[in-house]
Structure 1
Amino acid sequence: MQKLQKPVGNVTRGTTNPNRLRRVDRWLAGPQGWRLRRAADPLIVDLGYGAAPTTAVELHARLGRVRPDVEIMGIEIDAARVRAAKPLERSGLSFRQGGFELPADGRRPVMVRAFNVLRQYSEDEYRAHWDMVLSRLAPGGIFVDGTCDEIGRRSTWVELDSNGPVSLSISLRFGAFTLPSDVAERLPKALIHRNVPGEKVHALLQAMDQAWLTAAPQASYGNRQRWLAMCADLRASGWPLMTGPARWRLGEITVAWDAVAPS
């Protein structure tokens, strides 16, 4: 009898709240939705979904509006969490035990979302886990490594494809921050320890703060207009923003990875 492979990774704290990942889900269904629509196999993995399967259930509902035959596979290293989720399985939604090796029976997902997972690892571990997941993606697939606060008001994520990191996205709820740099404590593991002078991500957050303060006169029209002015200022200053006003209006910006990559 073939011995089962030991899952790769560690059990995380598993904190889960409804709607916690709505910001990244909105991004997956929006700018990244084309990947799902074109996929030969519409498999998406929610990696490390936590103590409750809430995020996987929500992802199934949200991306089902993009492609009705989407299949969400929730993967957790803790067998007890998988057993607890099993009663919620239905067509297009399943749960299984595993880790970064992605035990999907040889199938290659078009998207893998891992939120608040790698932040619980040491800084010298995340790169190997990135590489393992990337080696298992479908052609044209992406891996999203992100972090957010407990109720999803401050969120960041790195998009990776087969060649490595592509972009950093920052998404904030208006009214949930004083300065954009308040998101610093929610940066992904690859960047959270790099928010120091001399590092690119520090320069980005400082530039966001300055542009936000400069746009203060727009506050009389609401924080959304102020954020839009901030983003326009950043783009005019040469920051490589990869999206435009349609995404900015949501309190979200996406910048090319080269502009924030660790030194």
Structure 2
Amino acid sequence: MNIRKITAAAAAFAMLGTAAACSSKDKKSITKNAPEAASEAVSESVEGVDAKDAVDAVSGDAYLAIADEGFNVQYLGDKDENKNNQLSYDAGIAHIKGNGDYTVSVTADTNGFRYDTTGDINGEFTVKGLGFAAVIIDDAEKTMPDAVITVKGIKVDGKDVALTKKCYTNTESGSVRANIFNEWVSDDSLPSDAKCAEGALFNNGDTNSPSDINDGGFSAQIVSRDDFAQWKNVEVSFTVSGMEK
């Protein structure tokens, strides 16, 4: 996959506006500030690490795009190339076959993650905070443009996290996505193609004309950062609707 690296996360996001993450054809590395302990790419030669455990989402796969508060560790649907997707090991993806319930996840409890972040499969690295999170269906603008993602539940280290607002779905950079935490999209600047299972949030794509469904409860930030103070495992359950049966 073609990965464009962004050296300064905040500046890049400011330039990109609502395009705060990635898509299948152009997954942007949120940051290059990965821990320096492991400078070489993980390979089969590292005892205790299987490079095949790094998960690469392909067309039609849903995955949990996520980054910690410092944008030092992340997963953007790519394998762990150049130390930019340390959470790719054993990432839980879901191939979307139609309407239904699915789950995606990431874990920091793998030898690959520990090696990438500390240079030692027995090293310790604590993931702190939340900088970005979204459920993304790779290449879905082309393969399933009518898909609607509704986030139903989020667990952090096995504990349910409160959903403070309602998520919406939009199409961005070739993929269909539902933001979980994206501070670069304010509640009063939702994308014109935002929709939920009940329909579009704006009439005819006009952001000055909210639909009757748009009750002000939809947001790109549906969780509190406080629930992600430090974590190893994040799991998101969601429903896909709107696809032809």
Q: Which has the larger radius of gyration?
A: 1
Q: TM-score range by the shorter chain?
A: 0.3 to 0.5
Relative to its length, the structure with more helix (as a share) is 1
